[in-house]
Amino acid sequence: MRWLVVIAFVLIIASLASALVALARPRPGRNMLRALTVRVGLSISLFLLILLAYWLGWIESTGLPLLRR
């Protein structure tokens, strides 16, 4: 599960970088829009995957260590 989250984060960052490169061009157009759409889709998918993994018991909540005493 940890590797899946890391891979998803890498893909999200790559999509964001692709949108930045498209923005630097004189006419960003469809490439930037496509890259940002992919990023949003990956982010929502990652959130839903983490939520599903929690419901199925694949991962557990450890709480915030700073608040534990």
pLDDT exceeds cutoff 80 at 67: no
Question: For the segment 12-63, what is each residue's pLDDT rounded down to a tens digit?
Answer: 999 999 999 988 888 878 888 899 999 999 999 999 999 999 999 888 887 7
Going from the C-alpha of 6 to that of each of 28, 44, 57, the distances in angstroms are: 28, 15, 19
* Boundaries of every domain in the chain: 2-56
Q: What is the pLDDT of residue 66?
A: 66
**Among candidates 3, 21, 36, 65, which has minimal Cα distance to 46?**
3
Q: What is the pLDDT of residue 69?
A: 56
Q: What is the pLDDT of residue 37?
A: 92
Q: What is the pLDDT of residue 38?
A: 93
Q: What is the full DSSP assignment across 9-48?
A: HHHHHHHHHHHHHHHHSS--HHHHHHHHHHHHHHHHHHHH
How many Å apart are CA 7 and CA 12, to the nearest integer? 9
